[in-house]
Homo-oligomer: A and B are copies of this chain.
Amino acid sequence: VSTKPQLSKPTITDVARRAGVSKSLVSLVMRGADHVSPGRRQAVTKAAAELGYRPNAMARSLVQRRTHLVGVMVSDLHNPFFADIVAGIQDEAARTGYKVLVNTGNREVRGEEDAMETLLQLRADGMILTSPVLDDEVILKASREVPIVLVGRDGRAPSVDSVTNDDHAGAEMAVEHCISLGHRRIAHIDGGHGAGAPDRRRGYEAAMKRLGLGAQVQVVDGTYTEEGGHRGCLVLLAQHPRPTAIFAANDLAAIGALNAIEESGLKVPDDVSLVGYDNTSLAALRHISLTTLHQPRLEMGRLALSTLRERMDDGRGQPRRVVLAPTLVVRASTAPPSPDRARES
Protein backbone atom coordinates (compact mmCIF):
# COMPACT_ATOMS: atom_id res chain seq x y z
CA VAL A 1 0.00 0.00 0.00
CA SER A 2 1.39 3.34 -0.99
CA THR A 3 1.57 6.25 1.39
CA LYS A 4 0.38 8.91 -0.97
CA PRO A 5 -1.39 11.54 1.10
CA GLN A 6 -4.60 13.09 -0.12
CA LEU A 7 -4.89 16.65 -1.28
CA SER A 8 -4.95 18.40 2.04
CA LYS A 9 -8.31 19.61 3.19
CA PRO A 10 -8.87 22.93 4.96
CA THR A 11 -8.16 22.89 8.68
CA ILE A 12 -9.43 24.93 11.54
CA THR A 13 -6.37 27.14 11.19
CA ASP A 14 -7.29 28.01 7.62
CA VAL A 15 -10.74 29.02 8.71
CA ALA A 16 -9.38 31.07 11.61
CA ARG A 17 -6.97 32.93 9.35
CA ARG A 18 -9.61 33.64 6.74
CA ALA A 19 -12.10 34.86 9.33
CA GLY A 20 -9.44 36.84 11.14
CA VAL A 21 -9.97 35.17 14.49
CA SER A 22 -8.28 32.55 16.63
CA LYS A 23 -8.59 28.82 16.29
CA SER A 24 -10.41 28.63 19.60
CA LEU A 25 -13.13 30.90 18.40
CA VAL A 26 -13.66 28.81 15.30
CA SER A 27 -13.83 25.75 17.49
CA LEU A 28 -16.49 27.37 19.64
CA VAL A 29 -18.58 28.37 16.69
CA MET A 30 -18.33 24.96 15.04
CA ARG A 31 -19.58 23.34 18.17
CA GLY A 32 -22.48 25.78 18.42
CA ALA A 33 -21.45 27.64 21.55
CA ASP A 34 -23.87 30.40 22.43
CA HIS A 35 -21.68 33.12 23.88
CA VAL A 36 -20.02 34.32 20.71
CA SER A 37 -20.71 37.75 19.28
CA PRO A 38 -23.00 37.59 16.25
CA GLY A 39 -20.51 39.40 14.03
CA ARG A 40 -17.66 36.99 14.57
CA ARG A 41 -19.92 34.01 14.51
CA GLN A 42 -21.03 34.99 11.06
CA ALA A 43 -17.52 35.68 9.86
CA VAL A 44 -16.49 32.22 10.96
CA THR A 45 -19.51 30.53 9.45
CA LYS A 46 -18.90 32.29 6.19
CA ALA A 47 -15.21 31.45 6.04
CA ALA A 48 -15.93 27.81 6.85
CA ALA A 49 -18.53 27.58 4.12
CA GLU A 50 -16.28 29.20 1.54
CA LEU A 51 -13.46 26.85 2.33
CA GLY A 52 -15.70 23.80 2.51
CA TYR A 53 -14.35 23.18 5.97
CA ARG A 54 -15.32 20.00 7.72
CA PRO A 55 -14.04 19.28 11.24
CA ASN A 56 -11.67 16.34 11.40
CA ALA A 57 -13.41 13.83 13.62
CA MET A 58 -10.20 12.04 14.41
CA ALA A 59 -8.35 15.09 15.66
CA ARG A 60 -11.36 15.97 17.72
CA SER A 61 -11.70 12.52 19.23
CA LEU A 62 -8.03 12.37 19.96
CA VAL A 63 -8.24 15.26 22.35
CA GLN A 64 -11.71 14.52 23.67
CA ARG A 65 -10.92 10.90 24.25
CA ARG A 66 -14.30 10.04 22.95
CA THR A 67 -15.37 9.21 19.40
CA HIS A 68 -19.17 9.15 19.67
CA LEU A 69 -18.88 6.11 17.48
CA VAL A 70 -20.63 2.82 18.14
CA GLY A 71 -19.30 -0.20 16.30
CA VAL A 72 -21.72 -2.93 15.32
CA MET A 73 -20.32 -6.29 14.40
CA VAL A 74 -22.96 -8.10 12.37
CA SER A 75 -22.59 -11.82 12.20
CA ASP A 76 -24.06 -12.22 8.73
CA LEU A 77 -25.06 -9.46 6.37
CA HIS A 78 -27.00 -12.01 4.32
CA ASN A 79 -29.47 -12.76 7.09
CA PRO A 80 -32.36 -10.29 6.92
CA PHE A 81 -32.77 -10.78 10.65
CA PHE A 82 -29.91 -8.38 11.33
CA ALA A 83 -31.10 -5.60 9.09
CA ASP A 84 -33.83 -4.68 11.55
CA ILE A 85 -31.53 -4.99 14.51
CA VAL A 86 -29.21 -2.49 12.89
CA ALA A 87 -32.12 -0.24 12.02
CA GLY A 88 -33.16 -0.18 15.67
CA ILE A 89 -29.65 0.60 16.78
CA GLN A 90 -29.35 3.38 14.28
CA ASP A 91 -32.65 4.81 15.23
CA GLU A 92 -31.69 5.13 18.86
CA ALA A 93 -28.17 6.25 18.02
CA ALA A 94 -29.39 9.12 15.88
CA ARG A 95 -31.55 10.32 18.76
CA THR A 96 -28.62 10.40 21.12
CA GLY A 97 -25.80 11.75 19.02
CA TYR A 98 -23.92 8.58 18.24
CA LYS A 99 -22.76 7.44 14.84
CA VAL A 100 -23.09 3.80 13.89
CA LEU A 101 -20.45 1.95 11.94
CA VAL A 102 -21.08 -1.60 10.82
CA ASN A 103 -18.62 -4.39 10.36
CA THR A 104 -18.92 -8.06 9.63
CA GLY A 105 -16.99 -11.20 10.36
CA ASN A 106 -18.77 -13.41 7.83
CA ARG A 107 -19.71 -16.00 10.43
CA GLU A 108 -16.08 -16.88 10.99
CA VAL A 109 -14.11 -16.58 14.19
CA ARG A 110 -11.12 -15.08 12.48
CA GLY A 111 -13.23 -12.58 10.61
CA GLU A 112 -15.04 -11.51 13.73
CA GLU A 113 -11.79 -11.02 15.56
CA ASP A 114 -10.50 -8.77 12.82
CA ALA A 115 -13.73 -6.81 12.80
CA MET A 116 -13.53 -6.28 16.54
CA GLU A 117 -9.90 -5.28 16.31
CA THR A 118 -10.68 -2.61 13.76
CA LEU A 119 -13.35 -1.17 16.00
CA LEU A 120 -11.09 -1.34 19.02
CA GLN A 121 -8.23 0.45 17.25
CA LEU A 122 -10.66 3.05 16.02
CA ARG A 123 -11.51 3.59 19.67
CA ALA A 124 -15.27 3.26 19.22
CA ASP A 125 -16.97 4.31 22.46
CA GLY A 126 -18.88 1.06 22.57
CA MET A 127 -19.64 -1.99 20.54
CA ILE A 128 -22.57 -4.26 19.83
CA LEU A 129 -21.98 -7.82 18.70
CA THR A 130 -24.87 -9.59 17.03
CA SER A 131 -24.92 -13.37 17.41
CA PRO A 132 -21.15 -13.63 17.43
CA VAL A 133 -19.50 -17.01 17.06
CA LEU A 134 -16.52 -15.68 18.98
CA ASP A 135 -15.25 -17.36 22.15
CA ASP A 136 -16.61 -15.99 25.41
CA GLU A 137 -13.07 -15.38 26.50
CA VAL A 138 -12.25 -13.06 23.61
CA ILE A 139 -15.39 -11.06 24.25
CA LEU A 140 -14.69 -10.88 27.96
CA LYS A 141 -11.20 -9.57 27.32
CA ALA A 142 -12.42 -6.88 24.94
CA SER A 143 -15.10 -5.87 27.41
CA ARG A 144 -12.38 -4.62 29.69
CA GLU A 145 -11.44 -2.02 27.14
CA VAL A 146 -14.81 -0.95 25.87
CA PRO A 147 -18.46 -1.48 26.82
CA ILE A 148 -19.96 -4.40 24.91
CA VAL A 149 -23.54 -5.51 24.38
CA LEU A 150 -24.37 -8.87 22.86
CA VAL A 151 -27.51 -9.33 20.82
CA GLY A 152 -29.04 -12.77 20.41
CA ARG A 153 -26.59 -14.40 22.73
CA ASP A 154 -26.17 -14.29 26.46
CA GLY A 155 -23.36 -12.26 27.95
CA ARG A 156 -22.01 -14.81 30.40
CA ALA A 157 -19.77 -12.27 32.18
CA PRO A 158 -20.60 -9.35 34.47
CA SER A 159 -18.82 -6.91 32.20
CA VAL A 160 -20.89 -7.90 29.16
CA ASP A 161 -24.55 -6.96 28.71
CA SER A 162 -27.00 -8.72 26.45
CA VAL A 163 -30.30 -8.32 24.67
CA THR A 164 -32.02 -11.52 23.66
CA ASN A 165 -35.44 -12.97 23.17
CA ASP A 166 -36.68 -15.76 25.40
CA ASP A 167 -35.77 -18.67 23.16
CA HIS A 168 -36.89 -21.23 25.70
CA ALA A 169 -40.36 -19.72 25.95
CA GLY A 170 -40.60 -19.30 22.19
CA ALA A 171 -39.85 -22.94 21.61
CA GLU A 172 -42.49 -23.89 24.15
CA MET A 173 -45.02 -21.79 22.32
CA ALA A 174 -44.19 -23.56 19.10
CA VAL A 175 -44.81 -26.92 20.72
CA GLU A 176 -48.00 -25.78 22.44
CA HIS A 177 -49.34 -24.51 19.16
CA CYS A 178 -48.76 -27.84 17.47
CA ILE A 179 -50.31 -29.74 20.34
CA SER A 180 -53.34 -27.49 20.36
CA LEU A 181 -53.85 -28.40 16.72
CA GLY A 182 -53.88 -32.07 17.71
CA HIS A 183 -50.32 -33.10 16.88
CA ARG A 184 -48.47 -35.56 19.06
CA ARG A 185 -45.48 -36.68 17.01
CA ILE A 186 -43.66 -33.35 17.00
CA ALA A 187 -39.97 -33.37 16.11
CA HIS A 188 -37.29 -30.71 16.33
CA ILE A 189 -34.48 -29.90 13.91
CA ASP A 190 -31.93 -28.15 16.07
CA GLY A 191 -29.66 -25.22 15.35
CA GLY A 192 -26.32 -26.59 16.43
CA HIS A 193 -24.08 -23.95 17.96
CA GLY A 194 -26.12 -21.04 16.62
CA ALA A 195 -26.90 -18.27 19.10
CA GLY A 196 -29.95 -19.31 21.11
CA ALA A 197 -30.20 -22.74 19.54
CA PRO A 198 -29.52 -24.72 22.73
CA ASP A 199 -32.29 -22.82 24.52
CA ARG A 200 -34.75 -23.47 21.73
CA ARG A 201 -33.96 -27.11 21.95
CA ARG A 202 -34.37 -27.21 25.72
CA GLY A 203 -37.63 -25.30 25.44
CA TYR A 204 -38.92 -27.85 22.96
CA GLU A 205 -38.03 -30.72 25.25
CA ALA A 206 -39.45 -29.07 28.33
CA ALA A 207 -42.80 -28.36 26.70
CA MET A 208 -43.08 -31.86 25.31
CA LYS A 209 -42.48 -33.37 28.72
CA ARG A 210 -44.71 -30.93 30.53
CA LEU A 211 -47.56 -31.75 28.18
CA GLY A 212 -47.19 -35.46 28.51
CA LEU A 213 -45.34 -36.11 25.26
CA GLY A 214 -41.98 -36.89 26.76
CA ALA A 215 -41.87 -40.18 24.92
CA GLN A 216 -42.32 -38.42 21.59
CA VAL A 217 -39.34 -36.12 21.96
CA GLN A 218 -37.13 -36.35 18.93
CA VAL A 219 -34.31 -34.04 17.97
CA VAL A 220 -32.20 -34.28 14.84
CA ASP A 221 -29.06 -32.30 14.08
CA GLY A 222 -29.27 -29.19 11.99
CA THR A 223 -27.84 -25.68 11.67
CA TYR A 224 -29.23 -22.20 11.19
CA THR A 225 -29.07 -22.70 7.44
CA GLU A 226 -31.23 -24.00 4.65
CA GLU A 227 -28.96 -27.00 4.08
CA GLY A 228 -29.05 -27.90 7.74
CA GLY A 229 -32.83 -27.87 7.78
CA HIS A 230 -32.97 -29.88 4.60
CA ARG A 231 -30.68 -32.58 5.89
CA GLY A 232 -32.36 -32.84 9.25
CA CYS A 233 -35.77 -33.06 7.70
CA LEU A 234 -34.83 -35.95 5.42
CA VAL A 235 -33.83 -37.93 8.46
CA LEU A 236 -37.21 -37.31 10.01
CA LEU A 237 -39.18 -38.17 6.91
CA ALA A 238 -37.46 -41.52 6.59
CA GLN A 239 -39.14 -42.75 9.75
CA HIS A 240 -42.27 -44.81 10.28
CA PRO A 241 -44.42 -43.40 11.48
CA ARG A 242 -43.01 -40.04 10.56
CA PRO A 243 -43.70 -36.91 12.61
CA THR A 244 -46.84 -34.95 11.80
CA ALA A 245 -45.25 -31.68 12.87
CA ILE A 246 -41.72 -30.30 12.71
CA PHE A 247 -40.30 -27.37 14.63
CA ALA A 248 -37.16 -26.05 12.93
CA ALA A 249 -34.56 -23.98 14.77
CA ASN A 250 -35.03 -20.94 12.55
CA ASP A 251 -36.78 -19.81 9.40
CA LEU A 252 -33.90 -20.59 7.12
CA ALA A 253 -33.79 -24.17 8.37
CA ALA A 254 -37.57 -24.35 8.06
CA ILE A 255 -37.33 -23.42 4.41
CA GLY A 256 -34.79 -26.14 3.89
CA ALA A 257 -37.20 -28.53 5.56
CA LEU A 258 -40.03 -27.27 3.40
CA ASN A 259 -38.05 -28.14 0.31
CA ALA A 260 -37.22 -31.58 1.65
CA ILE A 261 -40.88 -32.25 2.39
CA GLU A 262 -42.04 -31.29 -1.06
CA GLU A 263 -39.24 -33.17 -2.74
CA SER A 264 -40.52 -36.23 -0.91
CA GLY A 265 -43.90 -35.74 -2.52
CA LEU A 266 -45.54 -34.59 0.69
CA LYS A 267 -47.42 -31.38 1.33
CA VAL A 268 -47.32 -28.70 4.00
CA PRO A 269 -49.48 -28.52 6.05
CA ASP A 270 -51.58 -31.45 4.80
CA ASP A 271 -49.01 -34.13 5.51
CA VAL A 272 -46.64 -32.29 7.80
CA SER A 273 -47.01 -29.05 9.76
CA LEU A 274 -43.97 -26.82 9.97
CA VAL A 275 -42.90 -24.10 12.41
CA GLY A 276 -39.89 -21.82 12.10
CA TYR A 277 -38.28 -19.16 14.27
CA ASP A 278 -37.44 -15.47 13.72
CA ASN A 279 -40.29 -14.33 11.50
CA THR A 280 -37.92 -13.10 8.82
CA SER A 281 -39.32 -11.54 5.70
CA LEU A 282 -39.00 -14.93 4.06
CA ALA A 283 -41.62 -16.44 6.34
CA ALA A 284 -44.12 -13.80 5.29
CA LEU A 285 -43.80 -14.52 1.59
CA ARG A 286 -47.14 -15.69 0.34
CA HIS A 287 -45.60 -18.76 -1.21
CA ILE A 288 -43.91 -19.77 1.98
CA SER A 289 -46.38 -18.54 4.58
CA LEU A 290 -44.55 -20.03 7.50
CA THR A 291 -45.87 -20.21 11.05
CA THR A 292 -43.02 -18.88 13.14
CA LEU A 293 -41.94 -17.00 16.26
CA HIS A 294 -41.44 -13.30 15.99
CA GLN A 295 -38.64 -11.49 17.78
CA PRO A 296 -39.10 -7.75 18.24
CA ARG A 297 -35.99 -6.93 16.26
CA LEU A 298 -36.32 -3.18 16.01
CA GLU A 299 -36.87 -2.93 19.72
CA MET A 300 -33.99 -5.28 20.38
CA GLY A 301 -31.74 -2.97 18.38
CA ARG A 302 -32.95 0.09 20.26
CA LEU A 303 -32.51 -1.62 23.59
CA ALA A 304 -29.03 -2.75 22.66
CA LEU A 305 -28.01 0.82 22.09
CA SER A 306 -29.65 2.23 25.18
CA THR A 307 -28.11 -0.54 27.25
CA LEU A 308 -24.75 0.38 25.81
CA ARG A 309 -25.33 4.02 26.59
CA GLU A 310 -25.84 3.26 30.24
CA ARG A 311 -22.27 2.10 30.35
CA MET A 312 -20.82 4.69 27.99
CA ASP A 313 -22.57 7.71 29.44
CA ASP A 314 -23.62 6.81 32.95
CA GLY A 315 -20.79 4.48 33.82
CA ARG A 316 -23.02 1.64 34.93
CA GLY A 317 -20.91 -1.27 36.12
CA GLN A 318 -23.57 -3.85 36.89
CA PRO A 319 -24.42 -6.30 34.16
CA ARG A 320 -27.73 -6.01 32.41
CA ARG A 321 -29.63 -8.85 30.73
CA VAL A 322 -32.58 -7.77 28.65
CA VAL A 323 -34.85 -10.61 27.62
CA LEU A 324 -37.84 -9.95 25.40
CA ALA A 325 -40.85 -12.10 24.77
CA PRO A 326 -41.26 -13.71 21.36
CA THR A 327 -44.74 -13.96 19.86
CA LEU A 328 -46.26 -16.71 17.79
CA VAL A 329 -47.26 -15.80 14.24
CA VAL A 330 -49.62 -18.37 12.82
CA ARG A 331 -49.63 -18.72 9.05
CA ALA A 332 -50.48 -21.45 6.58
CA SER A 333 -47.74 -23.96 7.33
CA THR A 334 -49.52 -25.44 10.34
CA ALA A 335 -52.88 -27.23 10.50
CA PRO A 336 -54.44 -30.14 12.35
CA PRO A 337 -52.96 -33.49 11.36
CA SER A 338 -55.02 -35.45 8.87
CA PRO A 339 -57.23 -37.98 10.75
CA ASP A 340 -55.54 -41.11 9.46
CA ARG A 341 -52.09 -39.84 10.29
CA ALA A 342 -53.00 -38.78 13.80
CA ARG A 343 -54.36 -42.24 14.55
CA GLU A 344 -51.10 -43.99 13.80
CA SER A 345 -49.46 -42.82 17.02
Residues of chain A having any CB pair with chain B under 8 Å: 1-6, 8-9, 52, 54-59, 61-62, 64-68, 77-78, 80, 82-84, 86-87, 90, 94, 96-104, 106, 114, 117-118, 120-123, 125, 144-146, 255, 258-259, 262, 281-282, 285-288, 312-315
Q: Is the CB of B87 within 8 A of A77?
A: yes
Q: Is the CB of B8 within 8 A of A65?
A: yes
Q: For the complex, what is the distance from the CA of A281 to the CA of B68, rounded to whole Å?
A: 36
Shortest Cβ distance from A38 into chain B, in angstroms?
A: 26
In the complex, besides A5-B64, A258-B287, A285-B287, 16 extra interface pairs with C-beta distance below 8 angstroms are A1-B96, A1-B97, A1-B313, A2-B313, A2-B314, A3-B64, A4-B66, A4-B315, A6-B125, A55-B121, A77-B77, A78-B84, A90-B104, A101-B103, A102-B103, A258-B286
Q: Which residue of B lies closest to A114 (CB)?
A: B94
A86 contact set on B, CB distance < 8 A: 77, 104
Q: Is the CB of A102 within 8 A of B102?
A: yes
Number of copies: 2
Q: For the complex, what is the distance from the CA of A87 to the CA of B103, rounded to whole Å?
A: 11
Q: Which residue of B lies closest to A259 (CB)?
A: B286
Could you say which of B1, B122, B145 contacts A52, with CB atoms under 8 Å apart? B145
Q: Which residue of B lies closest to A256 (CB)?
A: B286
Q: Is the CB of A281 within 8 A of B78?
A: yes
Q: Is the CB of A285 within 8 A of B4?
A: no
